[in-house]
Every structure is written in C-alpha cells, then in structure tokens.
Amino acid sequence: MKKENLSKLPYKGTDDMYPKDVFEKKYIFKIWSKVAKNFGYEEYDAPLIEDAILYKVKSGEELANTQLYNFVDKGGREIALRPEMTPSLARMIAAQRNNLLLPIRWFNIGRFYRYEKPQKGRRREFFQLNIDLLGVSTIDAEIEIIQYVMKVMDEFKAPKNTYELRINNRYLIEYLFDEILKLDTELRPKIARALDNYLKMEINDFNGYLKELGLNDNQIKDILEYINWEIEDLKKIEDRSRGAKELIQLFNKLKELSITNIKFAPYIVRGIQYYTGTVVEMYDIGSSENSRALFGGGRYDDLLEIFGEAKLPAFGLGWGETTTLDYLKTYNLLPSFKSNTKVYVTLMNESLLKDMNSLSTYLRENGINTEMQLTATKLKNQLKYANSKGFPWVIIVGEDELSKGVIQLKDMSNGESFLIKKEDVIQKLS
Ligand code: HAM
C-alpha cells in the first residue's frame, strides 16, 4: 500500500508564521502597544477558551453561532475558542468590580478564532488589538480612543489621504427605526444588516433587497435620504434623538481638536449586538484593494449587566492585524525584514572552536547579539551566508590574530576590514 504523505499546509484559514512574518507582526504590535502605554493604558490578558454561553448572550447571531469554534469538553461543558475579547474583558471587570479603580484603561494583543470563509482580510485564526476605556460616560472616552487611533496611524506613517474613520451612533439608528420607518421589531435586525452592507451593494440591488424584506416605497425613500444625511442634518432632530445629540457633540469636539480623517456615516451599524451608542470603523480609502475594515468598535454601556452587575459605561475597539498588514503592504509602509544578529563569528578551523565559543560568550554577555559558525567550512561560504542573512558585522580570527590578542572586524555594509583589540570591540559594536 502506498504511504500517504501528510499535508504541509496549515489548517484552513490559519497561517504558519516564518521569521519574516513574525517580524512584520511584531512591528505592528510594537506600535500598538507603545502608543497604548503612551496614553496610560495597561496590558491585560484573558483565557483563549471560554464558556460558549459568554458569546451567546450578547455577541449576536454571527459570532455566537455560525462563526464560533465550540466543542464539548470531557466534563460536558460547551466551550469556545474566543472569537473576540470584549465579553472576557467585561467578565473580568465584573468579577473584580469592587476592587478596580475607575476609569479602567486596558489593552491587549492576542489571538482569536472565527469559523469564517478565509478570504482577503479574513482568517480563521487572527490577531487583534483590543483597547478599551471603561468608567467614562461622556464622549470624551470616544475622543481619547480616536486620538489614540490617529497617533497609531501617524506612527505607521500612513498617508492622510488613505484612511477614514467612519462614525455613527446606535441611538440614531433606533430613531430611524422608531420615528421615521416605524419598523416592526422583527424586521429591525434585517434592515440593520442591509444598512451595514449598503456600500457593498449596487444601489438597485440595495433597493430591491429592501423591497424584498417588505419595506414600502416611502420607507425605501426615507432610508436613502437617511443614508445621505450629513452632520448638519442632525441639528433638526437634536432634541429628539440622543444619537443625533451625541454625534453633534462628538464632531464638534473632534473639530476643536483639529482631528481629521473622520466622517459621519449613517449606514454604519456593526454586527455585534452589545453596542449601545457610538459605533466606529476605519477604512482604507486610498485604494480598492482593501474592502474590509481595519478596525471596528463602539460603546457598550450595558454589557456588565449579563453578569448581574450594574451598568458601566465603556468604549473601545478591536483592531485586526490581518487587515492592517494588508493596508501597510498596499502603501509600502512596512520596514524590510532585518536580522536581530549584530555580529557573526566565523570559524577558520576546528581547533579554534573553543576560543570562538568563549569570544561569542564574551560578546553575548556584553549585550551584543552574536551568531557563531559551528563547522569550519570555506571562509568564502561563511561570508556569503553572513551577507545573505544581512548581519552588519563579521568577526574573523585565525591562529595569527589569536596569538596577538586581536580580531579582524569586517563591516558588511562596505566590505572594509580592520584589526581591533578584543577589549575595544564591545564599544565599537554597541
Ligand atoms: P469586530 O468588528 O468583530 O469587533 O472585529 C474587529 C476587527 O477585528 C475587524 O475590523 C477586523 O480588523 C478584525 N477581524 C475580525 N474578524 C476577523 C477575521 N476573521 N480575520 C481577520 N481579522 C478579523 C470586535 O471584535 C469587538 N469585540 C471590538 C471591540 C472592542 N468593541 C469594543 N471593544
């Protein structure tokens, strides 16, 4: 019987991460976390597996059912790989409610799992930054997180004409449903979904879809009018709609702070159920390559109630690494892969192995990242290897240098070599 070879491919929708991939991810993570700390946010973490019920209560149909990686454990409990962080964060805060000082500014960078159709910007295993501010009920929470976002985009050196933060408010959607469309409860989630897909559909298909859902011509006309509202249009309903009021306040403050790259987008709803007020999504607007949001977030003032705790105002967002990497690649904003190694110690012949080992130890103990050749091959090949790996410095020591207590240091950027005393090499390489 022919032996079947195992597949070399990772599980569908997951990625093997070679050193270059890790380097690129770490570049993004470093900026996310550096700026988060700069804003006074503390890092936290939560388990990768949770009780599936955590997502069934308020994450919405898609996350809790179709996309959930769930299984029954040996004790008969229904467990899920976490598809998002927010319910775990809310659980952790509910558990320590009386011991935690408000406001809470926390961030985390972690892995998440969703059973989705793998495609551009969508993986089954992916990384997300979560940044959340809890305990602030005014829109100053939104402002702070938006300032964080803009600082991260600056750190990425993102060109201003390539991104846009789209903002809406769930209370405004409620106003549309209650006061303008006078919608039945049953139709609401379907119309909300249609609105969220507005930009992805041709206008005729959108109208046809609304008709299919049971809306009459007047209601469709009202929705199309609503979609084109500008922030100015909200003034006439400011007294009647909490959403309109909050949006006006938010855009006024953003203007005062000269924050750009923002847009009022009445069609943004977001799929997740627990959002209560402001909802945000960031898009690439400079190319047609990346149609998925870089991040999404919003206000979720009621989430702690699922744990029997009093409400706690909260605003935050989840920023995907997959979509961010695609975005940075589109605009050539990623640094090129660089080795961490500073110096490469060659081996001229086997008898020098012990001396080269102690030289490498000396360099490492002095904080110099050192890689050492372990077999005595042709020097030409060792130099070729060092060059391909992009090491900035190479050390060459033969019997002659060894007896004189010097080493030959080669600068790989220009190929120049010079002799240097062992004591001076640390200063030279630091
Ligand atoms: P979300 O919109 O489900 O929100 O996800 C946020 C971001 O995570 C998306 O915009 C996208 O960048 C990334 N993302 C989501 N699914 C995938 C996937 N299958 N593959 C790659 N990237 C993906 C939440 O998760 C909320 N919990 C965010 C939040 C935090 N709201 C308040 N605080």
Q: What is the CATH number for 353? A: 3.40.50.800
Residues 6+ apart with CB under 8 A from 345: 356, 359, 360, 363, 370, 371, 372, 373, 394, 395, 397
Answer whether residue 7 is part of any domain.
no
> What average pLDDT does the segment 414-418 reach?
95
Q: What is the CATH number for 260? A: 3.30.930.10
> What average pLDDT does the segment 166-194 reach?
95
Ligand 1 centroid to residue 305 C-alpha, Å: 22
pLDDT at 1: 64
Examine the domain organization and report whether 80 and 109 are in the same domain.
yes
pLDDT at 61: 83
> For ligand 1, what atom is nearest to the CA of residue 116?
19
Domain limit, last residue, from 271, 303, 330: 330
Pick from 384, 395, 393: which is nearest to 412 by CA? 393
pLDDT tens string 298-344: 999 999 999 999 999 999 999 999 999 999 999 999 999 999 999 99
Q: How confident is the model at residue 64 (pLDDT cuts 50, 70, 90)?
A: confident
pLDDT at 276: 96
> For ligand 1, what atom is nearest to the CA of residue 282?
10
Domain limit, last residue, from 305, 330, 355: 330
Q: Does ligand 1 come within 6 angstroms of the Cβ of 324? A: no
Q: Does ligand 1 come within 6 angstroms of the Cβ of 317? A: yes
Examine the domain organization and report whether 315 and 351 are in the same domain.
no
Annotated binding site for L-histidine: 84-86, 114, 128, 132, 270, 274-275
Answer whether residue 87 is part of any domain.
yes
Examine the domain organization and report whether 111 and 186 are in the same domain.
yes
pLDDT at 162: 98
> For ligand 1, what atom is nearest to the CA of residue 281?
10
Ligand 1 centroid to residue 187 C-alpha, Å: 25
Kindly provide the b/e burial profile for residues 119-148, where b requires at least 16 CB atoms within 10 angstroms of the residue's own CB. eebebbbbbbbbbbbbebeebebbbbbbeb
Which of 299, 322, 324 should be mutated for ligand 1, with most atoms under 8 A from CB? 322
**Ramachandran region of residue 81, left (φ > 0), alpha (ψ -120 to 50) or beta?**
beta
Answer whether residue 226 is part of any domain.
yes
Examine the domain organization and report whether 308 and 352 are in the same domain.
no
Examine the domain organization and report whether 323 and 412 are in the same domain.
no
Answer whether residue 324 is part of any domain.
yes
User: Could you list the residue range(s) of the whole structural domain that residue 418 is in?
Assistant: 343-429
Examine the domain organization and report whether 304 and 247 are in the same domain.
yes
Ligand 1 centroid to residue 127 C-alpha, Å: 9
Answer whether residue 350 is part of any domain.
yes
pLDDT at 154: 98
Examine the domain organization and report whether 325 and 364 are in the same domain.
no
Answer whether residue 1 is part of any domain.
no
Answer whether residue 406 is part of any domain.
yes
Domain limit, last residue, from 330, 361, 395: 330
Examine the domain organization and report whether 192 and 299 are in the same domain.
yes
Examine the domain organization and report whether 245 and 275 are in the same domain.
yes
pLDDT at 134: 98
pLDDT tens string 115-173: 999 999 999 999 999 999 999 999 999 999 999 999 999 999 999 999 999 999 999 99
> For ligand 1, what atom is nearest to the CA of residue 67?
19
Examine the domain organization and report whether 71 and 167 are in the same domain.
yes
Q: How confident is the model at residue 60 (pLDDT cuts 50, 70, 90)?
A: confident
| Percent of the chain with pLDDT strictly greater than 70 | 100
Domains held by the chain: number: 2
Examine the domain organization and report whether 223 and 348 are in the same domain.
no
Ligand 1 centroid to residue 136 C-alpha, Å: 22
The rounded mean pLDDT for the chain is 96
Answer whether residue 3 is part of any domain.
no
Examine the domain organization and report whether 274 and 352 are in the same domain.
no
Ligand 1 centroid to residue 354 C-alpha, Å: 53
